[in-house]
C-alpha cells in the first residue's frame, strides 16, 4: 500500500474480493506495550508539511511479527504489519479520522495491484493540545 500526500479519498474501493475492508468498530492492532521497539526513521510522505514530517517507529510484537506505526503531528494514523517476514508489509490499518480506531484495513497479496491511499486529513490539523 502506498500513502498519498493528503486528502481522504481512496484510489481503490472496498468490494467482496478487493484488498480494502472497512469495519466501523475497527480492527485489532498490535499491543505497543508488549512489543519490542526496534528503531525509528523520519520520511517525507507529504508535500503539505516541509521536510521529513512522518515519524515511522518499528516494533517486533510478542508473536514475532514486525510492524511499524506512522505518525504526523503526534497522531498515529497508520500501522503496517508484516506477517510473512518478507518486504513489503502485508497489512495496513488506517485511522481515517484520528479517533484511535483503525476502521480501514488494506491487505495486499502478491500479484495484486497496489492500493494508493491518502494520508488522513485529520493529521494535518494541529490541535490546541499538541501545539502546546
Tell me the pLDDT of the chain (132 aa) as tens digits: 556 544 333 333 344 457 899 999 999 999 999 999 999 999 999 999 999 999 999 999 998 999 999 999 999 999 999 988 888 889 999 999 999 999 999 998 777 777 888 999 999 987 545 554
| pLDDT attached to residue 11 | 36
Residue 17 grid cell: 474480493
| pLDDT attached to residue 21 | 95
| pLDDT attached to residue 108 | 80
| pLDDT attached to residue 110 | 73
| pLDDT attached to residue 1 | 57
- The full set of domain ranges for the chain reads 2-125
What's CA 43's distance to the chain center, in Å? 13
Measured CA to CA, the distance from residue 11 to residue 88 in angstroms comes to 19
Q: Which residues of 25-55 are buried (b: 16+ CB within 10 A; e: fewer)?
A: ebbebbeeeebeeeeeeeeebbeebeeebbb
Amino acid at each position: 500500500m502506498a500513502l498519498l500526500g493528503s486528502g481522504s479519498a481512496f484510489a481503490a474501493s472496498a468490494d467482496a474480493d478487493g484488498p480494502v475492508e472497512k469495519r466501523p468498530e475497527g480492527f485489532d492492532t498490535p499491543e505497543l506495550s508488549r512489543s519490542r521497539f526496534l528503531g525509528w526513521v523520519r520520511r517525507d510522505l507529504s508535500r503539505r508539511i516541509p521536510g521529513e514530517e512522518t515519524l515511522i517507529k518499528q516494533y517486533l510484537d510478542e508473536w514475532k511479527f514486525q510492524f511499524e506505526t506512522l505518525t504526523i503531528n503526534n497522531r498515529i494514523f497508520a500501522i503496517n504489519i508484516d506477517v510473512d517476514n518478507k518486504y513489503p508489509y502485508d497489512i495496513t490499518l488506517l485511522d481515517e479520522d484520528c479517533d484511535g480506531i483503525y476502521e480501514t484495513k488494506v491487505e495486499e497479496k502478491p500479484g495484486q495491484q497496489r492500493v494508493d491511499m491518502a494520508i488522513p486529513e485529520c493529521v494535518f490539523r494541529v490541535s490546541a493540545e499538541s501545539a502546546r
